[in-house]
Chains A and B, each alone.
Chain A
Amino acid sequence: MSSAAEAAAAGAVRTSFKSGRSTRIWELAFKGCLASCILVSLLVLVVLLEQIVNDGIGSLSLGFLTDTPSRIDPASSGIGPALTGTLWLMLVCTVFIIPVGVATAVYLEEYADSDRWFNRVIEVNIQNLAAVPSIVYGVLGLAFLVRGPLSMGHVLLAGGLTLGLLVLPVLIVAGREAIRAVPPSIREGSMALGATRWQTVWKQVLPASLPGIATGAILSLSRAIGETAPLIVIGAAAFATSSPTGIFDDVTALPIQIFSWISDPQPEFKSLAAAGIIVLMVILLAMNAVAIWLRNRYERKW
């Protein structure tokens, strides 16, 4: 081979190798762009948190968690009833959404023939329900649970069920994903041993998808815990003077208490609102941390 041809080939290689550098610059620019987007959202969060912690840290104390709110004395005001109410609401919500949500997810994934029109209607509806504004659920709760056919009055049970309806689609979607992640080969292996479909679902598919379902349930609840609008619509007590002791007590919740303090013109109460937000945030972060831990601990590579 002539040396001229060799030189030409080397030149071509050199040029093509160098042209890679400009692509690299674009890649870096794009990365930088993405990173700055993350930075902006993080920055907003940090600023918000900083402000709230500054405002609220002074009002935080153990008594704040247990005291009843007062209209006159901000110093002795607390979130006792609201916090208890929120815990009760979460309990009602959990007891309601887990059986209903998991059963729906199992039906849609394991039993429903997606070629049938009604199954497709159910699927589309569940996706739509997840996008319905929460206040609409409040109206539903007011019309059907508080008044109307069930006429429970504005009690915790009605509040919990309303929040449950609101987050049910979230749990169903998460549950379906967890169930779908169990490979078909597990079902085949189980059926090939003479297991019925029900035994396969109950003994193989559900245990294998449990971590995913639990993660979905926690994320659903963490959405429910911050909801305010539907509870206001169904008539939550903004100033509960005593902690609820059962599901037929008046409904009250942490976000409602925060909302009512924020609307108060006195600055002392505003700082109470900030303290309430801190408590709510800590609960939320803890729930999400548990969800992440569950996912990482039990996540399975098939």
Chain B
Amino acid sequence: MIRLNGRAVTDPERAQEHERAVPGIDLGETVAETHPAGARTVTSREAVFKLEDVTVSYGGKPAVAEVSMDIYRNAITAIIGPSGCGKSTLIRCLNRMNDLIPSATVDGRVLYHEQDIYDEQVDPVEVRKRIGMVFQKPNPFPKSIYDNIAFGPRILGMDGNMDEIVENALHGAALWDEVKDRLDANAFGMSGGQQQRLCIARALAVNPDVILMDEPCSALDPISTGKIEDLMLELKEGYSIVIVTHNMQQAARVSDLTAFLIVKLDAEERHRQGRLVEYDATETIFTNPSDQRTEDYVTGKVG
């Protein structure tokens, strides 16, 4: 990390060159030309999100700056990078969770199916109904397993048989067989991995279009992590998934596309902010990245 910063400061020409390259990256072509295999894993070229020059600031200080990238339908997009590079900040601006922090502001445009979700007319509650989220630490509600799932459909006034909705959501999160006999038990009695899958089931129950996952496995053991990764691969058939992860192997295992962010000092060298360095098919990022900083990070030289 220090080396990265050092280079960015001492070699401004080179840093600038990278930044120029990043916003202009044309992912579709790059993937198709250089890595046909990578292109196959991306099942659809339809963009769910288009980020245009997105900067998220806390109290006027940018935490992550000038990010432009497209996020594709039915694909798993991973966001990786060292601590403090604004991965979580970036993912939380995709469903306006940053609104809950009074000092947070978003500049640039976040287009969801061509609609800017930060438009004044847009109700953040409507945004969150379509774009679900799973958090770093499992956060089940202090209620029964059944009520955890049913909470979302109930408040949204969804039609249909609630028992069916709950069962389908639990099947969707590969949890039904483990909990079908104890739906009335408190969710706090489940293991951490089960709790996290419950949180995924809870998000599925309201039929979202996109699922955002903010380091969903960082509090889990390898077996639970494996279950959640398998689940993500299944879910991507029906949903678009964005995952923030510290674990590079995880990004390599599950994601179709990977965005790499770094921490960089701003022009006055006072504040640290995250910058998008490279965004490409996961295979390209891990085997043949075009930026030296990406290579250093994914090969474990820094970070």
On whether the two chains bind one another, the answer is yes
Inter-chain contacts of A120 with B (CB < 8 A): none
Give the residue of B137, B142, B206 whose beta carbon is less than 8 angstroms from that of A193: B206
Enumerate A198-244 residues with CB–CB distance to B below 8 Å: 199, 203-204, 207-208
The contact string, 1 if C-beta is below 8 Å from chain B, for chain A 102-121, is 00000000000101000000
Interface residue count for B (Cβ, 8 Å)? Answer: 24
Inter-chain contacts of A194 with B (CB < 8 A): 125-126, 128-129, 152, 155-156, 206
A192 x B132 contact (CB < 8 A): yes
Known A-B contacts A208-B142, A300-B142; A190 and B151 likewise in contact (beta carbons under 8 Å): yes
B129 x A113 contact (CB < 8 A): no
The chain B residue with its CB closest to the CB of A208 is: B142
A192 x B97 contact (CB < 8 A): yes
Inter-chain contacts of A195 with B (CB < 8 A): 125, 151-152, 155
The contact string, 1 if C-beta is below 8 Å from chain A, for chain B 152-167, is 1001100000000000
Enumerate A157-209 residues with CB–CB distance to B below 8 Å: 183, 185-196, 199, 203-204, 207-208
CA distance in complex: A192, B203 (Å): 8
CA distance in complex: A75, B74 (Å): 87
Interface residue count for A (Cβ, 8 Å)? Answer: 21
The chain A residue with its CB closest to the CB of B140 is: A189
B139 x A188 contact (CB < 8 A): yes
B155 x A199 contact (CB < 8 A): yes
Min C-beta distance of A120 to chain B, whole Å = 15
Enumerate B74-113 residues with CB–CB distance to A below 8 Å: 95, 97, 100, 102
B135 x A193 contact (CB < 8 A): no
Inter-chain contacts of B285 with A (CB < 8 A): none
CA distance in complex: A193, B202 (Å): 8
B132 x A113 contact (CB < 8 A): no
Min C-beta distance of B125 to chain A, whole Å = 5
A204 x B141 contact (CB < 8 A): yes
The chain B residue with its CB closest to the CB of A202 is: B155
A192 x B151 contact (CB < 8 A): no
B155 x A203 contact (CB < 8 A): yes
The contact string, 1 if C-beta is below 8 Å from chain A, for chain B 41-68, is 0000000000000000000000000000
B128 x A189 contact (CB < 8 A): no
Inter-chain contacts of B202 with A (CB < 8 A): 189, 193
Inter-chain contacts of B151 with A (CB < 8 A): 190, 193, 195, 203-204
Min C-beta distance of A272 to chain B, whole Å = 49
CA distance in complex: A300, B152 (Å): 23
Give the residue of B95, B126, B141 whose beta carbon is less than 8 angstroms from that of A190: B141
CA distance in complex: A187, B199 (Å): 13
> Quick check: is B133 within 8 A (CB to CB) of the other chain?
yes
Residue ranges of A at the interface with B (Cβ–Cβ < 8 Å):
113, 115, 183, 185-196, 199, 203-204, 207-208, 300
List 9 tightest A-B contacts by C-beta distance, closest first. Answer: A194-B129, A185-B139, A193-B152, A192-B133, A189-B139, A194-B128, A199-B155, A195-B155, A208-B142
